[in-house]
Amino acid sequence: MIEQIFLDSVVLSTITDQPLTTEYISSNIKELIPDYEKIKSLEEDFINLYNNKLSNIINLEDILNILHKYRINTYYNKLLEYIIWQILNLKFTPTDIISNILHDIVEYNKDFSKILNFLLFNNMDALTIEDFLFSVPLLELGLTWHKADILYNIIDPTMAIKYELMDVIEYLVNNGKCPSYEICDCAVKYGNINVLEFAHLNNYEMDGDTVEYAFKCKQDNVIKLLHSYGLRAAFAIWD
């Protein structure tokens, strides 16, 4: 399984004239990979990585550091994204990751950059409550930081809707941080059918204004969905 993963190594492909195959890597693994003994000790984690069982990986930082060192980009990016979501859910804090990887984490997705800079480096530059919308624990943390600022203000739900974070959306509505019609309007604007279906199942406020907004946004699939919900305005305009 280790050989399968290292087939994608940019580093290995540059240090040999031989075509990289699992057989070639297996036969020459100690010469090709100076960290072989350490990698062998992490074999179970590499198996979980190969089988996409990322939550079963015990030594996340060791695996990520090795993937970065040998530039195994496909698996590196997959594990990096998983770790980022673990950080955003306040389930993981890096302690032994090199600075280049920390940079990759912060720059992986501009939507996450400000909040990751805060979580990793305590950098609060231009940080707003909307930067905390990537998990419920993160949002609760943000509410303690921005309590006075949002006391009378509606939180913009765009990021929660973009990433279809239904538990965050539910938290915003149930705790009076965003009215349900704002959720629906934002979902209409971005044509997010999954969020609208969630909103409908939870009896969020949809009416003729929602339909009118869907037409203004030229969201045909949304209009069809609202029509199927039996909204009067939807029937009148559609027919």
Span 102-155, pLDDT tens digits: 999 999 999 999 999 999 999 988 899 999 999 999 999 999 876 645 555 789
Where in the chain are the domains?
Answer: 1-124, 128-239
Degrees to nearest 5, angle at CA 163 with 160 and 167: 50
Cα 192–Cα 214–Cα 172 angle in degrees, nearest 5: 50
Contact present, 231 and 223 (Cβ < 8 Å): no
CA 157 – CA 28 distance, rounded (Å): 53
Plot region of 79 (φ>0 → left; ψ -120 to 50 → alpha; else → beta): alpha
pLDDT attached to residue 167: 98
Separation between Cα atoms, residue 15 and residue 34, nearest integer Å: 13
- On the question of pLDDT at 231 being above 80, the answer is no
Cα–Cα distance, 165 to 18 (Å, whole number): 47
Give CA–CA dist 41/197, Å, rounded.
47
Identify the band that residue 27 occupies on the pLDDT scale cut at 50, 70 and 90.
Answer: confident
Q: Give pTM, 2 decimals.
A: 0.90
**Can you give the pLDDT at residue 192?**
95
Q: What is the mean pLDDT of residues 199-227?
A: 90
For tokens 């990793």, what's the residue?
Answer: 120
pLDDT tens for each residue of 67-92: 999 999 999 999 999 999 999 999 99
Please give the average per-residue pLDDT across 175-179, as a whole number: 94
pLDDT surpasses 60 at 45: yes
Average pLDDT over residues 163-169: 98
Judge contact between 178 and 157, C-beta under 8 A. Answer: yes
